[in-house]
Structure 1
């Protein structure tokens, strides 16, 4: 059953709402949240007459307190509603229906082995490079050698440490360590003993891996010196571990980048590896697809913890499996594991909503439910109806969290805008300020 027919079916269901409790509409994808963005209004707004005009100071204080209490109540109600929707979306749903299984397909066992290996990393410190390699090698059907991969990362780390020493950077400064990493990705570097490294370039071809999923991989990046917003930040995090720095993966719509704290842990800096710039939060927000709720609910611009980063690896494993085979019970199991570690992972939530959408399409087709007979047949299949409602819960939770889909063309335009920022005055000032923090104290 194609998606057009699927949507037409749900359009025909609008007249059934009273009888079977179906929602009025079924959107193609999760839409922008309709919840109020609390805190965005100014109590003393100049756009309307000041309601406090003529009040005594005591009356004004009372009015302000009443306004604050009302907003706090609204915020509490909003948080309660979002948490309720999220709990429903994240919880496991048992159904007698299932998608066709790829369990016996050639190479599928490699994904189950990778899943087990990632699970073993949950309760102890894990290596980013090992986790990433585990995911990528499942796609390569265990043909890659981890020893060779590890050697490249170690040698690269040694090169970076040597260059850091030559620059006279403070070896104890997290800012200095991240600055040398930023330079490694964006500049040409030469060591005194003749080693040379060229900047890593952005690969504009097939940036989402629609034709070739290995385009997303760090192994591909290391072999070609070209990558994109998925592989470049992951390599950065591997090198962070190698030189004992501190940095985190962070998300914006269709995108990942790096955040790192200064040496006092008071200020955060953003590193954009696709365009080789240090970004401000304001520049990230210019894409226009980050809602206040999405920041509040930590969908975007939030430094991922190590536990949340492992959830990211699970979602990568799911997407590789789907590219190679398709969706089945295994993809749901891995996605559920990702949500246990990171309940507001927008990628995991979207993966789960897509899984249930495919499931509903498949079940409706198996039951012979279509545009013409949906009103008569669906009430006779309560388990199919419950499956449909479960799918809707996924969409509602994603909407409530503040997700807004960013079209591919808008993302490309935003990337071009980011690249144009590289040589502006703001970039020069940010680099200048960071450079002041990189020297040993005796040289300051």
Structure 2
């Protein structure tokens, strides 16, 4: 009888674990299906599938989508009622970019009946900016519920809104950072920085001191990511969420996500680091196992490669100082061409 109870308990634990893992498996399949064209591409769906997996299916995605739809409709209203002083052939597209920027970064008056209300802009949340205490601080769902976000959730929301109103938006990476890149006829490429609400020159990005020339040449940093490469970024987010949910896992799910992401973007540094760090954790668990020699050899190759392509680690404290510098030295780094 005692053996039966123990067996039943083990089976029950395995069943619960399988149910918990199912949400992550489903999210991986959703993103992978988009990458193989078995499912229609949607950055919003990819992002929310990651967040729903972390919340184990308890995220109210319908409510999050409703709030996103409201913002998208608001952006459309801004486009209808505002005429930009921009006369190039891509004016309609630029108007969409400007409207999304207004929704996220600018207080905007809304006339309802005879009353004028002020739409509140999103703000940067300096509390737990890396999600160390609570991973959900990086989530779009948290952003739309609190109107406070960071360099992960704000550019993600921007890209989602762009797709909701029929525009393209490219994510781009810098050390510990994500921002938006656009290409328009009047000036070519320019940067949109949502954490401070301005358009910084590339000089600001280079000013961090942690962007090596090799990293730019290899597309590690400052590259406009394609939609597929943005999905690869979501796979890394999914692996990080899984590791947070199951800290004692064997690393197989994280490696699956990392390898799939690297198939899409071989120089995606977050995926390369995820892969190396997972192998490092596996090595630490092997202790004196002979297999550890092979793993340490692989680890050395992976870390050497990450350094070779231009990655340099940026301390978190220096990152925050660099981020603040955009506000304190705005005149120095702002792209004045956008004031036109």
Same fold (TM over 0.5): yes
Q: For the Cα contact (< 8 Å) 1:175–1:263, is it kept in 2? A: no
Q: For 1:428 and 1:347, how far apart are their aligned partners in 2?
A: 28
Q: For the Cα contact (< 8 Å) 2:107–2:118, is it kept in 1? A: yes
Q: Does 1:224 align with 2:143?
A: no
Which residue in 1 is equivalent to 2:9?
none
Shift of the 321–168 alpha-carbon distance from structure 1 to 2, 3 Å rule, reads same
Q: Spell out the pairing of 1:354-365 with structure 2 (5 A cutoff).
A: 354-364=277-287
Which residue in 2 is equivalent to 1:5?
none
Shift of the 346–223 alpha-carbon distance from structure 1 to 2, 3 Å rule, reads same
Which residue in 1 is equivalent to 2:24?
111
Shift of the 301–425 alpha-carbon distance from structure 1 to 2, 3 Å rule, reads closer
Residue 173 of structure 1 aligns to a residue in which SS? helix
> Which of residues 194, 199, 208 in structure 1 aligns to 2:130?
208
* 1:180 positional shift: 2.0
Q: For 1:158 and 1:295, how far apart are their aligned partners in 2?
A: 36
Which residue in 2 is equivalent to 1:310?
231
Which residue in 2 is equivalent to 1:325?
246
Shift of the 208–105 alpha-carbon distance from structure 1 to 2, 3 Å rule, reads farther
Which residue in 2 is equivalent to 1:398?
306
Which residue in 1 is equivalent to 2:339?
432
Q: For 1:431 and 1:308, how far apart are their aligned partners in 2?
A: 27
Q: For 2:21 and 2:284, how far apart are their aligned partners in 1?
A: 24
Q: For 1:399 and 1:421, how far apart are their aligned partners in 2?
A: 30
Gap runs ≥5 in structure 2: 1-13
Shift of the 425–130 alpha-carbon distance from structure 1 to 2, 3 Å rule, reads same
Residue 190 of structure 2 aligns to a residue in which SS? strand
Which residue in 2 is equivalent to 1:173?
92
Q: For the Cα contact (< 8 Å) 1:163–1:191, is it kept in 2? A: no
* 1:426 positional shift: 6.5
> Which of residues 132, 143, 164 in structure 1 aligns to 2:79?
164
Q: Does 1:409 align with 2:332?
A: no
Q: Does 1:236 align with 2:195?
A: no
* 1:149 positional shift: 2.2
Greater relative contact order (Cα < 8 A, sep 6+): 1
* 1:293 positional shift: 0.3
Q: Does 1:149 align with 2:83?
A: no
* 1:147 positional shift: 2.6
* 1:105 positional shift: 6.5
Of the structure 1 ranges 346-355 and 110-119, higher mean CA displacement relative to structure 2 is found in 110-119
Q: For the Cα contact (< 8 Å) 1:276–1:419, is it kept in 2? A: no
Q: Deviation string for 1:341-396 (max 9, x for gaps)?
A: 1111000000000011111111125x3xxxxxxxxxxxxx3x33222211111111
Q: For 2:264 and 2:301, how far apart are their aligned partners in 1?
A: 20
Q: Does 1:344 align with 2:267?
A: yes
Residue 419 of structure 1 aligns to a residue in which SS? helix
* TM-score normalised by structure 2 residue count: 0.87
Q: Does 1:269 align with 2:190?
A: yes
* 1:246 positional shift: 2.1
Q: For 1:392 and 1:429, how far apart are their aligned partners in 2?
A: 45
Aligned residues: CA RMSD = 2.1
* 1:104 positional shift: 2.7
Q: For 1:402 and 1:229, how far apart are their aligned partners in 2?
A: 22
Q: For the Cα contact (< 8 Å) 1:162–1:191, is it kept in 2? A: no
Which residue in 2 is equivalent to 1:41?
none
* 1:411 positional shift: 0.3
Q: For the Cα contact (< 8 Å) 2:162–2:168, is it kept in 1? A: yes
Q: Deviation string for 1:196-252 (max 9, x for gaps)?
A: 421100000000110101000000000000000000000000110112222200000
> Which of residues 194, 202, 205 in structure 2 aligns to 1:284?
205
> Which of residues 257, 278, 283 in structure 1 aligns to 2:179?
257
Gap runs ≥5 in structure 1: 1-100, 368-380, 434-444
Query: How many residue pairs are counted as aligned between the two chains?
Result: 316
Q: For 1:161 and 1:116, how far apart are their aligned partners in 2?
A: 32
